[in-house]
Amino acid sequence: MSKLVTIYGGSGFVGRYITRRMAQQGWRVRVAVRRPNEALFVKPYGVVGQVEPVFCNIRDDASVRAVMHGADAVVNCVGILAEVGKNRFQSVQAEGATRVARLAAAEGVQTFVQLSAIGADDSSPSAYARTKAAGEAAVLDAFPRAVILRPSVIFGPEDDFFNRFARMARFSPVLPVVGGRTKFQPVFVDDVAQAAVAGVLGRAAPGIYELGGPDVESFHSLMQLLLRVIVRRKLIVNVPFGVAKLIAGGLDLVQTVTFGLIANQTLTRDQVRNLGRDNVVAPGAKGLADLGIPPTAMEAVLPEYLWSYRPSGQYASIKASARNLRKT
């Protein structure tokens, strides 16, 4: 364990998988998070003392530098899906990535991996996409040989995509979908983690990699797949973009007038703008195949963690088998 990697956001949805895999590679892992006491679950990923959560505020130079000291590699996983309080797209995804990259170069860090997103574009109408692009540009300016990963929507046991709609399907007679025709190429979270590890270990050529799974599906089709997995019948309602903008605007206004006490975790105007564009790997882009990582299919993973949303939970398969037995 002579090598040290600092993973910013290393206890988040993707970060925890990268942390586990880096520990398995025998590296010491410093997990930089805002609330170390809530990230203690990462410590058993390695032997005693191998994985340590440490406090870091990505908006502060001294904080970022302190947790980076002595690191051989840096992975930046910090990102937000909606603006709440002081966590703004500009301060976290643009200025935060700039700060981490600038200080990493000053500290002599050898390897840098940045987690971005498909759709990162400095001319996008979405602030999320523009600040992702700004973060990429800052990283490449400080580390021309950096590895930048752009995943499509990520699925896995802790995701906020399939889990969110599965929770909704438990209680709502309908599933509202904004941008039902928008294409996605969902990628398994551990495949993204493997790509990040390849970048840290020098097994990935420098550059930008767009990560997607083996299947390209519309938003509407993904919801149909979800309902099949959780064995529920619901009406999928495609919400027009005009209506979605009005709803999102109202929810954003509630967050503003309550000074963030009521956070909009449902649908924001910026998310509506993002849903207007397909979220798939661009033709000719480097991806998982270039890293030697076979993509994991959704059907192989979704039933493993969505079973709890079925009407009979873990007994759904047993009940189905019993019904088939009675028929025969």
Closest listed residue to residue 6, CA positions, set 18, 194, 24: 18
> Which pLDDT value is given to residue 127?
96
What's 190's DSSP letter?
Answer: H
- The C-alpha atoms of residue 131 and residue 260 are separated, in whole angstroms, by 21
Report the percent of the chain where pLDDT is more than 70.
95
pLDDT value for 226: 97
**pLDDT value for 320:** 61
pLDDT tens figures, 46-82 = 999 999 999 999 999 999 999 999 999 999 999 999 9
Whether the predicted pLDDT of 328 surpasses 70: no
What is d(CA 209, CA 291) in angstroms, rounded to the nearest whole number?
9
pLDDT tens per residue, range 167-197: 999 999 999 999 999 999 999 999 999 999 9
> What is the distance between the alpha carbons of residues 15 and 141, in angstroms, rounded to a whole number?
24
Q: What is the pLDDT of residue 58?
A: 94
92's CB contacts (< 8 A; 6+ apart) are: 58, 59, 78, 79, 80, 131
Per-residue pLDDT at 284 exceeds 70: yes
Q: Is the pLDDT of residue 312 over 90?
A: no
76-86 per-position pLDDT tens digit: 999 999 998 88
The per-residue pLDDT for range 8-48, each reduced to its tens digit, is 999 999 999 999 999 999 999 999 999 999 999 999 999 99
Structure tokens at 117: 């997103």
What does the pLDDT read at residue 260? 86
* Contact assessment for residue 200 and residue 104, using Cβ atoms and an 8 Å cutoff: no
Taking the C-alpha atoms of residue 136 and residue 160, their distance in angstroms, rounded to an integer, is: 24
The model's pLDDT over 249-276, given as tens digits with 9 standing for 90+, comes to: 999 999 999 988 899 989 999 999 999 9
CA–CA dist 58, 148 (Å, integer): 19
- Name the CA radius of gyration of the chain, rounded: 21
Count Cβ atoms below 10 Å from residue 319 Cβ, excluding itself: 13
Stated pTM of the model = 0.94
